[in-house]
Every structure is written in C-alpha cells, then in structure tokens.
Structure 1
Amino acid sequence: MIFPIFAVEASAQKPHYNITTDVTYPPFEFQKKNGTYTGIDVEIIRAIAKKEGFTMTLKPISFNSGAQMVLSGQMDGIIAAMTITSERKKVYDFSKPYYRTGIIWAVSKKSHITKLSQLKGKTVALKTGTASADYAKSLQKKYGFKITYFSDSNTMYNDVVVGNSAATFEDQSVMKYAIKNGLQLKIPSNKIGNAGYYGFAVKKGKNEALLKAFNRGLASIKKDGTYDKIVKKYLGESQKKISSNSASTENSSSIWYLLKQNWPSFVNGVIETIKLTVVGIILASIWGILMGVLGVAESKILRTFSNIIIYIFRGLPLLVLAFFIYIGLPHLLNVKIPAFVAGILTLTLNEGAYTGAFVKGGFLSVDKGQMEAARSNGLSYWQAMRYVVMPQGMRITVPSLINQFIITLKDTSILQAIGLVELTQTGNLIVARTQQGFQIWAIVAIIYLVMITLLTWLSNFVQSKIKA
C-alpha cells in the first residue's frame, strides 16, 4: 500500500509553471478546430515538460502582452518564437536556442512592388515588440517608408492584403507557412535579413529551475529525434491538414460551412462574453449607484471622493485600464491577478464610473422643491433622498443605464488584449486558422447583433415594468 501513496505524493509535488505563448503565429502556435493549441513551440514545451516531469498551464495571449506578463510575474516563462537579442537579454534570461530564424518582407499578390526602395512614402505593417519589427525599423530611414503597428499577425497580414499597407516584415518560416495555407501575399525577394535564434525566456534572475529544465529537455528531445519530428511535422504539412481530422467536400469558404465547423469555438466565445457582460453589469451597477449616491451626499468630502473616482475611471481608456490592472499592478504589488478577475475589475471601474455619472445626474435633475418639501415635513436629508429623490432619479436614469448595459457588452471585446477568449478573440483565432476574414467577421458581427438585440429587449421589458 506504500507505493501507490508515494506515487500520488510524488505526482502532487511535481513543479507547476504558467507558460505564455502567442495567440496566432503559425506554424509555431495556433488554435485547432477543437479549441486546443498546437504548433512547433507548443509541442516542444509539452515534450520537454513530459521529459522533465513538470506540469504547466499554457496561456495564449498577444506576444507583447505575454512578454510583459513574464516581467510582471504573472507568467513564469514565454515560448513564442521569441528572438534572442542583446536588448532582451537585459531583462530576460534565455534558454539555449531552439530554432534558427531570419526576416523577409512580403507584399500583396496584386502588388507591383519588387524592391525595398519602392516602399518610399508607403506604409509598412509590423507586429508590436517583435524582432521583425525591430529589423524593419532599422531600415525605415534608409528606404523612407512609414510604419503602423498591430498586436497580432493575422490583422497585420490582412492590412497588407486589403491594401491599407504596402508591405510587412515577418519571420521567413512563418511567412512561407502562411502563404502556403492561402494567405494572399507574395515574397518579392528571398534575401534573409537579421538572422538569429529563438529562445525560451524567463524574467532575469527568476525561475532558474525552469530554465535549466528547458535546456535539459531540449537536449533530450533533440537526441531522441522528437525535436526533428516536431519541426518536420509543421513545416512539411499544411495548417489545414494539422488542424482538421477529416476532409470535406463542402465549400470551405462558405459562411454555413465555417459556422458548422467552428460552432463549438463560437459557443465558447459567446459564453465567455455573456459571463463578462453579466458579472460586469451587476458589479458596475452596484459600484456606479454607490458613486452616484456619494456624489449627492451632504458631506463635501464624500462628494469630492465620488467626483474624483468618476473623473479618473471615466477618463482612462478601457484598454489602458485593463493593461494597468492585469500587467501593471502585479508588477507593482508582486501578486498574480487572473485574467477574468482583471477583466471584471476593468469593466466594473470603467463602466461603473459612467453609471455613477448618470445616477448622480438623475438625482440632481429631480426638482429641488421635492427635497425642500420632504425636509419641511420632518424628514432628514438621507430620508428625503431615500424616499423622495432617489426613486424619481432612478426612473430618470433607466434609459441611460440600459444604453450602458449595451456598451458593456460591446466593451468586452477589448478584453481580448489581456488573453480572454471572448467572441472577438474567438473570431481572431478562427481567421488565423482559416484565412477567411470576411466570412468569419460577418458571423461574429451577426452574433453580436443578436446578443445586443436580446439585451435591448430584456432591458426594455424591465424598463416597462419599472414605469408601470
């Protein structure tokens, strides 16, 4: 009986790490139809974890956000086709290189551009925080092009495809793989620039055990042939073949086919969006009403506090607030904040500030004679507010609150930036896998319209009951 107990205890004592990776960067990381992640980076870290006997949670998020999460302590390490550079070595400790890379540039298939000199005065699309972006930046002055940045590869590619940007710079293997899988770009020159290596990274001076385990595991999978099999699997086959278990004779670009093939992902995205919306609306309403009540308090201190809170959180862009809570605060306080909690806090503080302003405005719009009449009848200030002013003020506020509920639902889409796979991020992932941007975004738009319509009907029903 001793051996089974020992085995359980040994298993329970396995080190566990939180590892981040990019959301869409095939063939290194991308999502399969069933919602799981695959790719060269993903399979390498899983193989190493198995060899070294540690467990992990893999969290896909945009590259730049993931890199910041490692520095803030939210994540233990990052494997996301991250090029080892002298600048990054100042803040990260890198593993031994696991893949050789080089940068190439690409243009739309319809483009007549064949030389970098033809990019003068034109816009080049780059992915934030990447080695390819740094390389393009180093060429900007020489060739005179303008730069625009994107947080994910797929949006960057499509900006070139539709003609908004003239070209993009990307890792050679990644670009060739994307073109092989249907991306409507072409490579004008096979000349490779800024050759370098990818490495697994941890925060400088932290997670030494994890870094050593990665290096041991990498050497092990190279020795037994696992590494070569992984690389060959992804660079020798198309993404469609890897992502799908079966072929279909249906038109793979039709909206019906794409909806049918990806409906589990869409459902999961809708559920996450609804969760964020419902919890966000409830907490934002409570917080907003509280701020509204304090905003009309007799105490000048309470009124000032309410005004400051509303001013700050209504003035901050939602995305900035999300990054501050999810990446900035953990770095400052040395604590980990789950993405869902950070998302809810963001919605509560931002949407609650707007709600507070509406509620306060509703209370102040009630005729002053109502308060004077209540006070003359012996009611205290708060009794007059509670029984006379607030009920009337809340009725006035209802239309604004309903509109804010709809805005909250739409604002959940911004939270994809901190790794929440809600409906918009689901669309991003499916587009990266299928390269069917118009059809997928049409589906996403219709789903949003349906949800907003249902929420509007529900809100109007509640409003009619309140007025009755």
Structure 2
Amino acid sequence: MQSLDFSVLAEWENMSLLLQALVYTVLYTCAGFLLSIVIGMLIAFGQMSKVKPIRYVSLAYLSWFRGTPLLVQLFLLYYGLPLIFGIDTVAWLSGVLALGMYSGSYTSQVIRGAIQSIDKGQMEAGRSLGFSYAQTMRKIIIPQAVVRMLAPMTNEFISLTKNSSLLSTITVVELFRQANIMIADTYKTMEFLIAVAILYYLLNNLIGYLGLLLEKRLGMGDDLR
C-alpha cells in the first residue's frame, strides 16, 4: 500500500492555487446566498399572499426546486438553455444562479416561518398606531423576524457552501475542481482530498462561529435565561 505524501501540499504554488480556489468558492457561495435571500423573500411573501395566482406560482416554485436535485438543476441551466433556447451560458454565472434558485426555496421557508412566528398582536399594535401593513412589516415584524432567522440562515449558508462543490461538474474552477485538476497532475488523490476537506471544515466552522457571534450581539436567547 502506498503511503501518503503530504509534502506536495507544502509547495507554495499548490497551496496558493487551493487558497485562491477557496476564495472563489466563498465568492460564488456569497453571491448565491444573496440571490437566495431575494428569491426567498419573494416566495415567502408570495406564499402568504391572498392573491391565489401568486400563491400558486410560489408553491409551484417550491415544489420544483425542493423536489429536484441541485445537480440536475445545474445541468438543466448550463446545458439545457443553449440546447433548448439557444442561449449562451457562462459556467460560473449558471452556477451562482442555480445555487441561488435552489437555496431560495429553503430560505423562503425560513423567512415565512420567522414572520409567522411573530405574535399577531404585533401587527394589530402597529396598525393601531396608524402604520400601514407595509410599514408595520418593515418597522415591527421583520426586525423581530430577522433575529429568529439567524440560526437557520447560518445553517443554510453552510449547506450552500458545501453544495458549491457541485459547480465543479459544469467546469467552474472552485475549490473541489481545482483539487481535481491538481490530482490529475500529481496523482496525489488522498492528499488533496484531505486538504480540501480540512479547508471546507475550517470555512464552515468559521461561518458557524460568526453566526453565533451575531446571535449573541443581537441578544438572542436572553429570554431563556
């Protein structure tokens, strides 16, 4: 059995390529997450809408993106659009769009759940003060809901970071893709896979730690003491 040789990771050129790919992973994930928040808000309010067509469209979106794998969605977006509609696609842009649309179906439920968890008396109090529905949502309901969203949103961000490795299947050079390229050059499979796993582990734990700090800063959990 061949022993592991981690000296290949000590070479600055190899580590610099991995770290650069890690930066791209973070950028793609952040872009996808921001898009997912926008989509999530639209779907969440669409679900709560009293207009049936809007509600049905939102439910159809949820049904599709939660019921099909992200990998299939990536392939349909990147390879399907040129074949069916003749639209030229860019790998990284398709990847970010797929991440955002997929994650948006899950963030929408976080947003909807947080908003609906706020006591109905808060809305009544806001309306009694002369605020419109939109003003009450913006000034009273949503600020409280945001605090309740932090923990599940942090989890979704971590999940999206791990799912970003699927972008390698459409030739996007992120962390996992870069590792595969280097494995093909050096034949050091386990060494690079272990390095990639450690980098993902450190990144996701950093995200979790920052999420906890933000929760503490906003005073979450004070009512449980």
TM-score by length of 2: 0.87
The question of 1:411 aligning with 2:168 is answered: no
Over 3 Å counting, the alpha-carbon distance change for 1:361 and 1:407 in structure 2 is same
CA contact (8 A) 1:288 1:359 kept: yes
The question of 1:262 aligning with 2:9 is answered: no
Match of 1:460 among 207, 212, 219: 212
Match of 2:79 among 318, 327, 336: 327
Q: Tell me what 2:95 maps to.
A: 343
> Number of matched residues?
219
Match of 2:31 among 276, 279, 290: 279
* 3-state SS of paired residue (1:295): helix
Q: Tell me what 2:118 maps to.
A: 366
Structure with bigger gyration radius: 1
Deviation digits for residues 424-443 of structure 1 (CA, Å, limit 9, x no counterpart): 11222222222222222111
Give the root-mean-square deviation of aligned CA atoms: 2.3
Match of 2:43 among 291, 300, 309: 291
Over 3 Å counting, the alpha-carbon distance change for 1:304 and 1:374 in structure 2 is farther
CA contact (8 A) 1:297 1:303 kept: yes
Query: How much does 1:377 deviate?
Result: 4.1
Distance 2:202 2:44 in 1: 31
Q: Tell me what 1:393 maps to.
A: 145
1:48-127 equivalent positions in 2, closer than 5 A = none
CA contact (8 A) 1:255 1:443 kept: no
Query: How much does 1:325 deviate?
Result: 0.4
Distance 2:21 2:90 in 1: 18
Over 3 Å counting, the alpha-carbon distance change for 1:283 and 1:457 in structure 2 is same
Q: Tell me what 1:117 maps to.
A: none
Distance 1:283 1:311 in 2: 19
CA contact (8 A) 1:325 1:346 kept: yes
CA contact (8 A) 2:150 2:211 kept: no
Give 5+ residue unaligned stretches, structure 1.
1-109, 111-183, 185-250
CA contact (8 A) 1:310 1:357 kept: no
Distance 2:76 2:9 in 1: 36
Q: Tell me what 1:226 maps to.
A: none
Over 3 Å counting, the alpha-carbon distance change for 1:344 and 1:264 in structure 2 is same
Q: Which has the higher contact order (CA 8 A, sep 6+)?
A: 2
* 3-state SS of paired residue (2:48): coil
* 3-state SS of paired residue (2:218): helix
Query: How much does 1:396 deviate?
Result: 1.3
Letter in 1 for 2:144: Q
CA contact (8 A) 2:41 2:108 kept: yes
Q: Tell me what 1:422 maps to.
A: 174
Q: Tell me what 1:3 maps to.
A: none
Over 3 Å counting, the alpha-carbon distance change for 1:315 and 1:283 in structure 2 is same
Distance 1:373 1:308 in 2: 34
The question of 1:356 aligning with 2:99 is answered: no
* Structure (1/2) with the larger strand percentage: 1
Deviation digits for residues 378-420 of structure 1 (CA, Å, limit 9, x no counterpart): 4333233222222222221111111111111111101111001
Over 3 Å counting, the alpha-carbon distance change for 1:383 and 1:300 in structure 2 is farther
Q: Tell me what 1:441 maps to.
A: 193
Over 3 Å counting, the alpha-carbon distance change for 1:295 and 1:386 in structure 2 is farther
Distance 2:136 2:9 in 1: 58
Letter in 2 for 1:422: E
Distance 1:321 1:395 in 2: 31
Distance 2:59 2:68 in 1: 14
Q: Tell me what 2:223 maps to.
A: none
Over 3 Å counting, the alpha-carbon distance change for 1:258 and 1:269 in structure 2 is same
* Structure (1/2) with the larger helix percentage: 2
Query: How much does 1:280 deviate?
Result: 1.3
Give 5+ residue unaligned stretches, structure 2.
221-225
TM-score by length of 1: 0.44
Query: How much does 1:367 deviate?
Result: 1.7
Over 3 Å counting, the alpha-carbon distance change for 1:295 and 1:466 in structure 2 is farther
Range moving further from structure 2, 371-380 or 322-331? 371-380
Range moving further from structure 2, 343-352 or 279-288? 279-288
CA contact (8 A) 2:21 2:174 kept: yes
Letter in 2 for 1:312: W
Deviation digits for residues 101-152 of structure 1 (CA, Å, limit 9, x no counterpart): xxxxxxxxx9xxxxxxxxxxxxxxxxxxxxxxxxxxxxxxxxxxxxxxxxxx
Distance 2:107 2:6 in 1: 38
